[in-house]
A and B are shown apart, each in its own frame.
Chain A
Amino acid sequence: MRAQRMQRTLLSLVLRLLLLCTVATGKCSGKYHELLLQLQRQADLMQDPSTLLDPYIHLQGLHSPVLQEHCRERPGDFPSEDALWRLSRQDFLQTLNTTLGLILRMLSALQQDLPEAAHQQAEMNVRGFGNNIHCMAQLLRGSSDPKAAEPTQPGPGPTPLPPTPPSSTFQRKLRNCGFLRGYHRFMRTAGQVLRGWGERQGRSRRHSPCRALKRGARRTRPFPEIRRLAPRGQPPR
């Protein structure tokens, strides 16, 4: 009897784990590795300066080497790499989500200063990245009910703040340029962290990945503050 009970318990646990790993999450992909790969590639795609910074520099006339010297990321705009590496997964996702919200606000402010196509594509990429963070959070949570999501907890480390209004237009351009540079750097770092997820998972394959993920997952919704600003399906203006 005891052995049978043990077997039932073990089978139930396995099935539960399997169920958690492939749980349907609405429009989200239910496959962790696929979703993680998507996040990694999205981060790779968004860290490319040619998608946002280069068009901005070209359009604003900041492509001289002297000016680019002043186009530097301001400390505190985005979490540092070390901070991101130290975050837990749920906190990392939460930090990403928060930072993306700030990026969207900044992009909204830079709408007139960027080529329309580049601006629209960048904004969509950020929103799509947030969508995948939401899906990953759901996957980690093991539930597809967004209402069940817990309130977002601020991540560790410095919380990026919206850039302060510059004193002059030139200063504002340099400030925006530095912000965009920081954005690409942040995405590159995020990608590296996400790749680290995959490597760590590969190394700890003997442990239950779902349990580990679930343990650190927090209920996360993308850009809570942005979603309040823009109606669903409408890009923020």
Chain B
Amino acid sequence: MPTLIVCEDANPNSPDCIYTGELIVPCAHIHPESSVVQLGSNFTAVCVLKEKCMDDYHVTANDIFWKTGRVPVPYEQYSVINRTASSVTFPNITLINALLTCNIRMFGQINRSVYGIRIISGLPPEKPKNLSCIVNEGKKMMCQWDPGRETYLETNYTLKSEWATEKFDDCKAKRDTPTSCTVDYPPVYFVNIEVWVEAENALGKVTSDHINFDPVDKVKLNPPHILSVNSSKELSSILKLTWTDSRFKSFITLKYDIQYRTKDASTWNQVPPEDTSSTRSSFTVQDLKPFTEYVFRIRCMKEDGKGYWSDWSEEASGITYEDRPSKAPNFWYKIEPSHAHGTRSIQLKWKTLPPFEANGKILDYEVTLTKWKSHSQNYTVKDTKLTVNLTNDRYVATLTARNLVGKSDASVLTIPAWDFQATHPITDLKAFPKDNVLWVEWTAPNESVNRYILEWCVLSDKSPCIPDWQQEDGTVHRTYLRGNLVESKCYLITVTPVYDDGPGSPKHIKAYLKQAAPSRGPTVRTKKVGKNEAVLEWDHLPIDVQNGFIRNYTIFYRTVIGNEIAVNVDSSHTEYTLSSLTSDTLYMVRMAAYTDEGGKDGPEFTFTTPKFAQGEIEAIVVPVCLAFLLTTLLGVLFCFNKRDLIKKHIWPNVPDPSKSHIAQWSPHTPPRHFNSKDQMYPDGNFTDVSVVEIEANDKKPFPEDLKSLDLFKKEKVNTEGHSSGIGGSSCMSSSRPSISSSDENESAQNTSSTVQYSTVVHSGYRHQVPSVQVFSRSESTQPLLDSEERPEDLQLVDNVDGSDGILPRQRYFKQNCSQHETSPDISHFERSQQVSSVNEEDFVRLKQQQISDHISQPYGSGKMKMFQEVPAVDAFGPGIEGQVERFETVGMEDAVDEGMPKSYLPQTVRRGGYMPQ
């Protein structure tokens, strides 16, 4: 029974799962077995089922389906040929390398692969082209060709070769080098061989054109070996080159290619080919420079040009023989300072001849100095300078260089006398870099110039100017400096024309071989800073950091938040004024210096513009001060003029109770008092009342009394509108409506319904025992205090009074009521004034009190505090109540009897006196 290969789950790319050789009988087979298909062609495969399988699995050709890889082939490409065979066609096949499998569907549902072939598409090989061969001498022949297009298939290239009488083994190209092959037999020269290439793959075989040649015509000879390069003593311009080359020269004619160059040159010179077109083993190269090292190389090939040039030989060098120096050395001098009188120290200096002019090794120099009508001095020097002491006369110096062969021509230099005046300078001196050298150009003077001397040195702040020099012919007006110049250095170049009678006037110029940006930028600083401008200044950069000609400066400045502003400044400037700055602003400024090749920033500098310009403060302050002074002066004058009024307001007279005459203050003698008042207030306005209550408390020490007075005074001055004042004026001021103004007067006139207060001070002043009881009178519309209405409460207070003595002081403030006062002090001052005007003696006493109060003021302050804390109602004692009643009575009588504006203080209390109202 045939074995069905089941590969349903196997890798379809593995053909092993389809069939495994002879042991397994496949269930079908595919025709054709060949699977290489040409690109673009149509390919048809037929799968033929075996009868046994058809019977076992109940399948026919209709159950066949095809796959390429895992991808089913569309049914449109199928064709059922008969019951057992089904074909599939791939038109215009593309590049493919896949497994084509024949599959059946068993029992209508199980798919099985029954056979498979691998399809590979590609192209047949193209005819190889450009077949050529080369025979490297001593090696085997190698041929190469162009294989043509890509075939996408494994293609074998075989190089075939044969003589007329025999064929050689094929040369199969390796896979990695399918375009060449090296035969494995040695080349046989002078025997024609025919060579061709066969290219073959699964789709075909193609043969290249046959080429027939003598291998000697394809030979690449080994390079010659240079044996020697010899010079000739007789002729300093030749070198003879000898070599050995291929043994082929015994059989074939060779030609050579000889090249040479000086040792330091990079380009080769070619010996004319016609001079080397035959076999030879030596050649003499002519027209060479004396005492110059030359390098040679040589190659060869067949004379007829068939074959290939050999590789170049190894280089060999030789030096031509010496010749006499071909040119006189450049000669110049320098006068050195000399202390001897009548002589000069002259340093003669000259340049070593370049090799192409020295024509050999310079052994020494001969210097001859000749003074006019005198014999010569000869010197032989190996160095390139000679220092001699000469007189101030004119000298002629000659110089020759000597080598092994001979002397050079003489170089003549005239050293003028000491008083010689140089003239005729060159003009239009220019210096500029070009092609990495520094060129100097000038216009020759009108006179005939023998030669020019160019001197140059590096300008530096760190090192002195050490000049180098060179000489140019008198016909030259443009040359380049042949020294070892470096970039970014400033060179001071001097050009001096030399005439028959001596040197002309020199001309100088500065130049750079190549400029660069400065090494550092200028350091800017402020010279002066104003409200809206700042003057910046800086120093010129040192020459060592300039690296070029400073063309301009750029100042960059900005505020912390603002944009940067750039200002270009000419390089000749060292200061610049920034204008339109904002006052009271921090500015950051830096400066860059620019050469032709770029710029470099200097360090940043910050400064702050002032808020005011210079003098602006003075312009404001002085007028203000003047105005203040003027105002003050006016105020003083005003105060002086109005001193009485001011004094009344600020410094009221406090009547001295001790000088009061109670007796005069009697209801029967008011005219005196009120006459005074009339004199002061002719308009009838009684605007001030001052009440002094002096407690007749023997227990109280004298200073406390003074303090009490002082306290009143201070309260009156400092706290307007508060309940303070002398002798409880605040309390009295509560009755102000009837005191200070005409309105008050009117109120006073209508006080028939008001309650009047009066106080009688029992105690004396300053330990003075009043002779009589003192009465004080007040008038108020305020209702009586509870203590006054309830004597029983006051009784308790009286007891307290007797215990600690606080109460008597509070009696001054018995009117310190809870009601508000508007301007008690004013009333108080007016009253004080009133009192003062009434009794000058009281005023004197009050002054004395104030002096004492000033000393004991702290104590008075304590009393003030106490006053604020103790309720007035509780402070009043029964004695006080009685005084109030009496005082009130006086006031009423005064108002009623006199018909004057209502007043509480037309009281004049004299010592020990009482003036009943």
Contact = CB atoms under 8 A, between A and B. Distances in A.
A85 to B, nearest CB: 22
B190 A48 contact: no
Contacts of A127: 163, 165-166, 188
Contacts of A124: 185-186, 188
A130 B163 CA distance: 11
A232 B166 contact: yes
A120 B194 CA distance: 20
Interface stretch (A26-34, A75-83, A88-96, A101-109): A26-34
A42 B186 contact: no
Task: Determine which residue in B185, B190, B192, B247 has the highest number of CB atoms from chain A within 10 A of its CB, and name it.
Answer: B190
B192 A29 contact: yes
Interface stretch (A3-11, A131-139, A162-170): A131-139
Give the dominant DSSP class at A's interface: helix
B668 interface: no
Contacts of A221: 165
A222 to B, nearest CB: 5
A45 B186 contact: no
Given A27-B212, A48-B247, A50-B247, A41 B166 contact: no
B165 A48 contact: no
Q: How large is the interface on B (under 10, 10 to 19, 20 to 34, 35 or more residues)?
A: 20 to 34
Nearest to A25: B164
Give the dominant DSSP class at B's interface: loop
B137 to A, nearest CB: 12
Given A45-B190, A117-B186, A135-B164, A233 B169 contact: yes
Contact of B164 (A27, A37, A50): A27
A16 to B, nearest CB: 23
Contacts of A121: 186
B231 to A, nearest CB: 34
A42 B721 CA distance: 151
Nearest to B212: A27
Interface residues of A, number: 32
Contact of A27 (B163, B169, B189, B252): B163
B185 A131 contact: no
Contacts, number: 74
A39 B251 CA distance: 11
Contacts of B166: 127, 131, 232-233
A128 interface: yes
A44 interface: yes
A41 B251 contact: yes
B164 A28 contact: yes
A125 B187 CA distance: 9
Nearest to B194: A27
Given A131-B163, A131-B165, A232-B166, A44 B251 contact: yes
Contacts of A38: 190-192, 214
A33 to B, nearest CB: 13
B820 interface: no
B188 A128 contact: yes
B253 to A, nearest CB: 11
B894 to A, nearest CB: 167
Interface string B238-270: 000000000100111000000000000000000
B146 interface: no
B186 A128 contact: no
A111 to B, nearest CB: 15
B164 A131 contact: yes
Interface string B179-219: 00000011011111110000000000000000010101000
Contacts of A37: 190
Given A45-B251, A48-B247, A124-B185, A130 B165 contact: yes
B165 A42 contact: no
A51 B193 CA distance: 22
Contacts of B212: 27
A222 B190 contact: no
B551 interface: no
B165 A134 contact: yes
B723 to A, nearest CB: 144
Nearest to A44: B251
Nearest to B214: A38
Contacts of B192: 27-29, 38, 135
Contacts of A27: 162-164, 192-194, 212
B251 A128 contact: no
Interface in B521-558: none
Contact of A222 (B165, B167, B168, B186): B165
A42 B164 contact: no
Interface string B658-688: 0000000000000000000000000000000
Contacts of B191: 38, 42, 128-129, 131-132
Nearest to A221: B165
Contacts of A41: 189-190, 216, 251-252
Nearest to B215: A128
A45 B167 CA distance: 23
Contacts of A132: 190-191
Interface string A12-37: 00000000000001111100000001
A123 to B, nearest CB: 9
A107 to B, nearest CB: 14
B162 A120 contact: no
A89 B163 CA distance: 23
Task: Determine which residue in B166, B168, B193 has the highest number of CB atoms from chain A within 10 A of its CB, and name it.
Answer: B166
Nearest to A35: B192
Contacts of A25: 164
Contacts of B164: 25-28, 131, 134-135, 138
Nearest to A50: B247
Given A44-B251, A233-B167, A128 B190 contact: yes
Nearest to A144: B164
Contacts of B167: 232-233
Contacts of A117: 186
Contacts of B189: 41-42, 45
Nearest to A130: B165
A135 B163 CA distance: 10
Nearest to A134: B165
A134 B212 CA distance: 17
Interface in A215-229: 221-222
Contacts of B190: 37-39, 41-42, 45, 128, 132
Contacts of B251: 41, 44-45
Contacts of A29: 192
Nearest to B248: A45
A28 B164 CA distance: 6
Interface of B: 162-169, 185-186, 188-194, 212, 214, 216, 247, 250-252
The 4 A-B pairs of least Cβ separation, nearest first, read: A128-B191, A128-B188, A27-B164, A38-B190
11 contacts: A27-B164, A45-B189, A124-B186, A127-B188, A128-B163, A130-B165, A131-B164, A131-B191, A135-B164, A233-B167, A233-B169
Interface of A: 25-29, 37-39, 41-42, 44-45, 48, 50, 117, 120-121, 124-125, 127-132, 134-135, 138, 221-222, 232-233
Given A44-B251, A124-B186, A127-B165, 4 more contacts: A27-B164, A38-B191, A131-B163, A233-B162
